[in-house]
Every structure is written in structure tokens, then in C-alpha cells.
Structure 1
């Protein structure tokens, strides 16, 4: 009887302990579920709050963007109006500058020349006081630029800097893309170039030596370009475009590697062509403040005469020669309107202080090159990759 009692007591105790264990486990699980539910409720509240804030932000962003678009449209209209006003003012300035340009070298004798009365007085043996007859020793041309008649932006091809020019003795056009290389592109005419996509359709000419800078020139089916391999040897190369060979090379010693224009340091020297022949603009050294001019024989490349133009290299971007008169074009490092600010005449007929003012209409940046064509009285300009044609108006030098 006693063992049975002990067995019953032991079973009852075991059952009671198991019941307490399972009850504790259930309580634990219930508490964990309640904690998870609380956490989920918290996450739901946070998500709802974030969603509300996001909606408010999207609404505010949409309103702000709408306001910005409205302000951008208004600003665009204001800028278009300002650009139109600037263009109108520049046209008016160009007109006023042309109309009020100072007369070059005017004195009492000028009126006699303009009235075509000088020949009559000379035949009578009369001579007016103050007249000193000047004989042209270098240039026989009697014209000076009086203004820019029109501007035509032909197209945009190639690098920001380069050269394009037309042979005065033919209709062929030559493209020098960049400031160095050994390939140039030839078109039969300006029209062919304007119609071409890029330089497609051109004749590619590979040169035996690289050209340097934007100072090349073409004259009578010959290419004249600058070759410089070290700091002191400046070479002018004459290349036969029809025969495909170098016909002459002239050495032009300089003291150090100098550039003729401070705004275009790639151009170590500039070759120019006018009705009088071939000219070279250069600087002997970096310490030389002014641009020098040399008259060259286009056949032999001999130097015939040299001048100090007195035109500063500082802020110069390009130059060109017309009838033995050098026109140096200046700008600023922050590109603005290009202007002829210094003029040098090899015959001392025209001087800077009395030459007509000449401003170029503002376009893109600064000219990398300006090449004059005496047959057309036009300038071929390269401005930030754009090829531009300036048609010039001319007048007679007053003392010629």
C-alpha cells in the first residue's frame, strides 16, 4: 500500500511541474507576440508618417519646379530681348563708328587731290604750301579699309583654332584644322566647302613637314607655311600645291621661341598676302614688345625689307596686310569685340592715330586667324571653329 501511495504522489508532482512549465512557455510566447505586434504597429505608424512627409515633399517640389519653369521662361524672354537690344546697339555702334571715322592724314592738299584739281595746278606750275609729294617706295597700292560692309558665317568645321583661306589667283579654298599638322584640305570653291559635311569631299594634301600655328598663306598655287622644330630656327616653307613638292625653304633666325600674338601663342609667325606680294609678321624674342614686319620675295623667299611696326604684341589676336598697310586686331583675354587698334603703313602714308576705326561684330570668341584676299577685298576669319567671311569697303589713301 505504501509504494502505491508513493507512486501516486510522484505522478501528481510530475504532472503539476509539467503544467507549470507549459504555462510559463505559453506566457513567454504570448509576451513575445505582443512585443512583435507593438513593434509592427510602431513600424506602421512610422511608415505612414514617412509616406505623408514624402507626399508633402513631392507636392512642394512640384510647386517649386513649376515656379522655376515659370521664372526660367520669363528669364529666357528677358535674355532674348536683351540679346536683341545688344545686337541693335552693336549695329548702331558699327554704323556710328563708320560714319564718324577720323580721316587719315588730312591736310590742305588732301582737298586738292579729292577735287581732282592737283593735276590742273601742277600743269600751271602752281604748288600749294604745305604739300609734300610722297613717292611709294614699297607698295604702289592706293587703297585703305574704310569699314566692314557685311559678315557671313559660312559654317563650323573642326577645332576652335585654325585657318582657312582662298588663293587670290584661283577659286580654291584651303582648310588648316587646328594649329599644327601635316594635312590640309582643298576645295575647288567656297561654295563647295559650304555645301560639304565637314571636310568630306575635299582633296587631302599631306605635307612633308608639319605646319605650325595659324599663320599659313596660299598665293598663286603655292603654299607658304611656318615650320619650327627648335627654339631658334624659324623656317618658311614654300610648297608647290600643283607639283606636290617643296620648292624652297628660308631660315629666319630668332633669339628665342616667341609668338607674334599674345592671345594666340600657337602662332609663332604669321604669313600674309596682299596685292603687293608676301609678308611675314613675327617677333624676334619674348622680350620684344612689338610686332615686326618683313617683305618677302614670293619666288625666292628673300627678305627685301624689315620694319618695326610699333604695334604691341600684348592682347593682339591676329593681323592682316592690305596694300602694304598692316592692321593689327586686338581683343581681351575675356573675349569681347575685336577691333583694329594699331595700323602701320610701310610708306608712312597712314598712321594708327588717323586711320579709320574698324570694329568686328561680336560673334563667338577671338579670331585665331584673319586672311585677306586682295581679289575679293574680303577677310577669311576663323573664330572658335566658325568660318567667317568679312566683306570690306575700301577708299583711296588721301595723300596718294
Structure 2
């Protein structure tokens, strides 16, 4: 009996010791798991803190990069402005020299005669001067076409402000739209069809300009934009902008005596740039007291003024004008809009006589043209009439050589 009792006591003691052992093991494992969880929480907190610091550092870096970019842009604009100011004196001196010196062939033909070719007021009888005149005359009289009528009219759409301008680059299919009478941007479309599909000009690609344009008198010629910047009442600047690179390439001052508008019915048009087969032209008024529209031939590469004419076309009741083959066509209307009509014509080569210039009426539309831009490749006019964009297809004929 005694051995059995001893065996039972020994077995009970063994079970009790095992229970304490396993309980200690479980406590140890639980403590280790808690320690691991604490370390994992610490690692998570540190990772979150590092991530937050990294985001803050990234934000500061981006702000610093944007600041440097803005400063670089401002510095570049300041350098461009300084370059323009440096050139102003030279441009103004060139203009004064052009204005005060005799016009090309002015000592030989002081003014245009209605019938016949240029007549010399003074004949010196020198063969050298005659050769100089023939060379100049051949340079400015390459084109011999004149408008005979309006063949067809297409109202493309109505979009934008009542006044504005749209045109197409003669050397490409791209269309450029100036909405309103002033601003620092324009809108670009790949083609006329592309422009007709957009419900609003704001849906297209926008081109920001380095300065603000004044009036719907801009022109696009050989991939460059030429626009008017009115700085003061007596300073008018012609700016040349490269549409491909998006940079201003040149600017020229064109001083006027006082603030004047070239067309009486469109006072927002301080000057009007035009491009045709012969190159780049500028229609302007020298002062508010000047009754007629003046014409200047400009070098599209340097913006130098090559020659100036008095067109003898009055500014009164004029709404727009355009140039075709070196001939200025001035469109007139009334203060109460009626039918627009070409009533005055001036040919820089004096190859068009008064009897040959027909009175051409535009089809009755909505109001008065804010702008008319000629495309020499298509023989078409791009008009802006009370917010409507209109295309006029022209009929041409040869000038009478007299």
C-alpha cells in the first residue's frame, strides 16, 4: 500500500511541476510577442515620421524649383526688355531719318498722278538717276492683280466678342483668333475646319504673348505674328513674335504725334497691319488731325520702314482696310451700319486709274466689319462682323498698265 501512495504522490508532483513549466513558457512567449509588437509599432511610427518629413522636403524642393523658374523667367523678360530699350534709339533714329529724308523717288515723282505713270517734277537728265528709278519701280510692281468683285460669301460661325480678328497663315493651314479688342493671348487652330468644330475659342490651344496687343490690327506672315502694342498716347510699338518658338524676336517704335485711330468707325484699331504678295504693310494715322489714312511699307525681317505714302483715303466713316498686290482697299460704312463698300483705292505703283477702281459692295450682314484680313494664297478675305466669322472669296483681274 505504501509504494502505491508514494507513486501517486510522485505522479501528482510531476503534473504540478509540468503545469508551472508550461505556464512560465506561455508567459515568456507572451512577453516576447508584446515586445515584438512594441518594436513594430515603434518602426511604424518612425516610418510615418520619415515619410512625413520626406513629403515636406519634397514640397519645399518643388517650391524652391518653381521660385527659381519664375525668377529665371522674370530675368529673361527683363533681358528682352533691356534689349528692346537698347534698340529703341536706333529704331527711332531710323524712323526719323525715313520720315525727314525724301521718300524713295520723291525727288523724281513727288506725288501720284491719276492718269498715266509717274511724272517727274524735276528732270535732271542724268542717266544714272533714270536707272535708279527703273530699279525701284521694278521692285515694287511685281504683282499686277486687282480685285474685280466678291465671288462668294461663307458665314463660318459666330463665336467670341462682337469685335475681334481671325486670320490664316498664308504659308500653312493654321488659323489664329484674336477675341476682343485687346489682350495678352490669342487662340490657335490647326485649320479652318478645326476652328469651325469648336463651340468656343476657349476650347482651343492658347498662346500667351510677352505683352498686350491693342486693337484687331494684327497680322500673321511666314510663321511670325506681328501685332500693335500701344504704350503711350504718342508711342506705338510693332512687335514681331515667333509662333513656332513662342518668343518675341523684334520690336520697333512707330512714334505718332497724338493718339489717333486709323478707322473712324472702329476707334479700337490704333493701327492695322496687313500682309499680301508684296510683304508687310502698316495702315495708320499720324495724328488725330490727319484726315487721311497713311500707309507704310515695312521690312518683315527687321521691321524697318522702307517707304511711306498718303493714301488720300479719308478716315471718316472708314471701318476697315486691307492690301492686295500693293493696293490699299478702304471699306466704308455709316454710323448706323448698312452695307459695307470699298469706296477708296490707292495703288503704291500708280498702275490703277480712278476709272478702273469699281465701287464694290459687301453683301448685307449683321453690322460693320471689325477687321478684314487678306490671304494671298487663297485670294480670300477673313472678316469679323458683329461676332460672326465670314470668308469672302474674291475675283481678280489684271491691272491696266498705262
| Structure 1: distance between partners of 2:158 and 2:231 | 30
| Structure 2: distance between partners of 1:274 and 1:139 | 13
Matched, 1:272 2:274: yes
Q: 2:253 aligns with which of 228, 233, 251?
A: 251
1:254 Cα shift? 0.3
Is this contact kept in 2: 1:338–1:366, CA < 8 A? yes
Corresponding residue of 1:206: 208
Q: 4+ runs of 1 displaced by more than 6 Å?
A: none
| Structure 2: distance between partners of 1:364 and 1:346 | 32
Corresponding residue of 2:381: 379
1:56-135 matches, cutoff 5 A: 135=137
| Structure 2: distance between partners of 1:234 and 1:376 | 31
1:200 Cα shift? 4.8
1:379 Cα shift? 0.1
Corresponding residue of 2:322: 320
| Structure 1: distance between partners of 2:355 and 2:318 | 17
| Structure 2: distance between partners of 1:228 and 1:337 | 31
1:353 Cα shift? 4.5
- CA 1:268–1:200 in structure 2 vs 1: closer, same or farther (change >3 Å)? closer
| Structure 1: distance between partners of 2:295 and 2:274 | 10
Corresponding residue of 1:235: 237
1:139 Cα shift? 3.1
**Count of residues paired in the alignment:** 270
Corresponding residue of 1:171: 173
Mind listing any 5+ residue stretches in structure 2 that lack a counterpart? 1-113, 117-135
Matched, 1:399 2:393: no
Q: Provide TM-score, normalisation by structure 1.
A: 0.66
| Structure 2: distance between partners of 1:184 and 1:200 | 10
Corresponding residue of 1:123: none
Provide, for residues 241-269 of structure 1, a one-character-per-residue CA deviation record: whole Å limited to 9, x for no partner: 11111100000010000000000000000
Using CA pairs under 8 Å that are at least 6 residues apart, name the structure with larger relative contact order, 1 or 2. Answer: 1
| Structure 1: distance between partners of 2:354 and 2:261 | 22
| Structure 1: distance between partners of 2:332 and 2:355 | 15
1:356 Cα shift? 2.0
| Structure 1: distance between partners of 2:254 and 2:392 | 31
Is this contact kept in 1: 2:333–2:340, CA < 8 A? yes
Q: Secondary structure at the match of 1:204?
A: strand
Corresponding residue of 1:298: 300
- CA 1:334–1:353 in structure 2 vs 1: closer, same or farther (change >3 Å)? farther
| Structure 2: distance between partners of 1:238 and 1:135 | 28
Q: Secondary structure at the match of 1:165?
A: strand
Mind listing any 5+ residue stretches in structure 1 that lack a counterpart? 1-104, 108-133
